[in-house]
Chain A
Amino acid sequence: MNNIYINKNDIPSEFQPEFLANDFEFIGMDALSKFDEVGKSQAFWQDVLSRFIKNKGAVVGLICIILIISMAIIGPALNSYRADQQITGHESMAPRIPGIENIGVFNGRETLRTSTGGKEINKYADVPDGENLYYWFGSDVLGRDIFTRVWTGTRVSLYIALVAVVVDMLFGMGYGLISGYFGGKVDMIMQRFVEILNGIPNLIIVTLLIIALKPGLLSITIALMITGWIGMSRIARAQILKLKEQEFVLAAKTLGARDFYLIFKEILPNIFGQLLIMSMFSIPNAIFTEAFFAFIGIGIPVPGASLGTLISESFKSLTTHPYMILFPVIILGVLMLSFNLLADGLRDAFDPRMKEM
């Protein structure tokens, strides 16, 4: 009780502070965080992994995505048809798969619901050398193999997915971080800009843009770039607003770290994982947007194919040949479902407390 005041001289000399010239120099990220990483990171990743594996939906999603990606890579080469190869006379042939055909489905038969009653037809019997002919997913109204086209089209959808993530991570994140970090006038101007961009209905700006640029993969990419990043920029901004007042940022600032160093080396590593996961959520949206463009006629130009254009093309034959729309819809659905499940699972695995934004 009496020893409240400690005399400096009472402290043994080896414990007395001694100031060196470089004591107040900023030592940088590497030196700072080494200690933290060694012990914890293993456990953290193991944690994440075990949480992820427990989430059956996410695992199924991941497997589906891997399967779809591999099929997109090898699928078009699995048979002898090219995606834009039209065989006159082979129009609108129902799916026929070797092996499975013997159990009564996908055997090339289809029932036309004509106005004069159902009519079962088997076009394979009518074309020359039909017995040895197999269109696994059927052929379209121009006599092209739907199997090849579906997997070629899947490539486009996957490309769109990639674009969505890249745009999110490059534009959205950078924009949000800068806007949120600097605050004040910069933030105000940047946020007003977002507000204006956001105020124009996405569909209109993008449609006008695509028409002005001529429809094509490039214009769709540009269109996604122009509007796709807004959501991510909001999230990034919200995150940095939370973090920028925290002690470790303050500390680094006090030690003289410059703004961009702070943003990208101090703050970003803390939120990058979350942001990456959030950007997974924009994938289904982007794929959907592409499908929507296809439906209003400004998708990938013919004879190219994307899942969206395949669906909107075969939509016109829905009441005649429903099988044409079947496979593109299933694959698009599975793809979107898988990305959603995977994103959900990743988010839960990384940070169970994180909320849907």
Chain B
Amino acid sequence: MHKYILRRIGIAALTLLAILFILFALMEFMPGSPFNDEKLSAAQRALLDAKYGLDKPMPTRFINYVINMLRGDFGVSYNISKNTPISDLLKTRLPISLRIGGQAVLLGAVVGLLLGILAAIKHNTILDPLLTVISVLGISIPSYVFALGLSYVLGFQLGWFPMLYRQQQALQSSVLPTISLSMFTMATVARFARTEMLEVLGSDYMQLAETKGVGGFALIFRHALRNALIPIITVLAPLIVGLMTGSLVIEKIFSIPGIGQLLVQAIQSNDYNVIAVLSFLYSLMYIGIMLVVDILYGVIDPRIRLTKEANTVHE
């Protein structure tokens, strides 16, 4: 087991390095440069390029960057916040994004599960197709349309929640963004939960449990849900990462000082270091989540671990 985990971590680290290299290569192909104001002369741009080491070839910059990164230096922003170390930019923004993303995952997963279970239990009533349509709608409507609709109705017309994010009212003002952001997760989880639950409910051991007299909540939550949960966890992992990227639209609409917004801005203004760090961060989270899910899986379900180990040994 330890060997397996170590191996996975090693691969993850290599993957990250490869990703960083690809990012640098892609940025190299991006037209324009960060110092490109209409007021700048050619000499000045050369001066700026030299100051930030942008005049060096890409491989050199890549190696320098990795070395600096290992020392904990992520570089400075060129444009969005001139000369500010990126760690400073992230210090306040990352927690906000993580929190709203976390809230959205929580809300989406819990409500989605409940909806899915409800649809599965009431399989033969009108409720099931109704919930299916609702969940498909959740997948089909772009989150930004949803966000503005919410903010117009609940925020502006009814005045229940603030329309804009305020650090001082962090909880209240994150209600609308959380709901908008969680829609996709909610809908996806609901769909999966429904299928999984249907399958589990139809299985022999559930029928056994039922004949033994286990009923109601206990039946659903203790017996059925537990078995249906494992596959749901798998879809949740990529959804979490999807949320982070999806958040940049929500962040723009609700004026949330998070990292999604920062990334789009960085891409548009060729703020290389910011792009690199944020992309790297996303990759890190993604690979991290995948790694955790993988390892957790092995812990939860020994069969998977065994086949995986068998596979790796045979490789």
Contacts and interface: CB of A to CB of B under 8 A. Distances in A.
B58 interface: no
A199 B148 contact: no
A319 B278 CA distance: 33
A185 B315 contact: yes
Interface string A314-357: 01001100000100010011001100110000000000000110
Contacts of B136: 336-337, 340-341
Interface residues of A, number: 45
A315 B11 CA distance: 43
A311 B136 CA distance: 19
A312 B249 CA distance: 11
Interface stretch (A94-102, A136-144, A249-257, A284-292): A284-292
Contacts of B27: 208
Interface string A125-160: 000000000000000000000000000000000000
Contacts of B11: 192, 195
A32 interface: no
B241 interface: yes
A175 B208 CA distance: 43
A122 interface: no
A212 B31 contact: yes
A284 B139 contact: yes
Contact of A291 (B139, B142, B244): B142
Contacts of A209: 26
B192 interface: yes
A295 B26 contact: no
B31 A195 contact: no
Interface stretch (B34-42, B43-51, B282-290): B282-290
A12 interface: no
A56 B192 CA distance: 20
Contact of B241 (A201, A312, A355): A201
A188 B315 contact: yes
B152 A319 contact: yes
Nearest to B149: A318
B199 interface: yes
B146 to A, nearest CB: 10
A291 B139 CA distance: 13
Interface in B294-315: 314-315
B69 interface: no
A284 B140 contact: yes
B110 interface: no
B282 A211 contact: no
A186 B130 CA distance: 46
Given A208-B30, A211-B267, A355-B199, A337 B148 contact: no
A329 B145 contact: yes
A184 interface: yes
A306 to B, nearest CB: 13
A57 B133 CA distance: 9
A200 B287 CA distance: 9
A202 interface: yes
A311 B142 contact: yes
Given A199-B286, A319-B152, A325-B145, A333 B245 contact: no
A356 B192 contact: yes
Contacts of A296: 248-249, 264
Interface residues of B, number: 49
B254 interface: no
Contact of B245 (A195, A201, A297): A201
Interface stretch (B13-21, B164-172, B174-182, B212-220): B13-21
Contacts of A188: 315
B245 A203 contact: yes
Contact of B195 (A187, A198, A336, A356): A356
Contact of A208 (B19, B26, B191): B26
B140 A315 contact: no
A20 interface: no
A333 B149 CA distance: 15
B166 to A, nearest CB: 21
A201 B282 contact: yes
B79 interface: no
A204 B139 contact: no
B191 A332 contact: no
Given A57-B129, A295-B144, A356-B191, A340 B263 contact: no
A159 to B, nearest CB: 19
A340 B136 CA distance: 7
B23 interface: yes
A199 B152 CA distance: 36
Contact of B137 (A56, A192, A333, A356): A333
Contacts of B140: 284, 332-333, 336-337, 340
A199 B283 contact: yes
Contacts of B267: 204, 207-208, 211
A183 B312 CA distance: 11
A195 B278 CA distance: 19
Contact of A199 (B15, B196, B245): B15
A196 interface: yes
Given A201-B282, A332-B142, A337 B133 contact: yes
Contacts of A192: 11, 15
A201 B142 contact: no
Given A295-B249, A311-B145, A315-B145, A212 B30 contact: yes
A63 interface: no
Contacts of B19: 196, 199-200
Interface string A35-63: 00000000000000000000011000000
Interface in B101-148: 129, 132-133, 136-137, 139-142, 144-145, 148
5 contacts: A195-B11, A195-B15, A200-B22, A201-B244, A201-B286
6 smallest CB-CB distances across A and B, nearest first, come from A336-B140, A201-B282, A212-B29, A208-B26, A203-B245, A204-B279
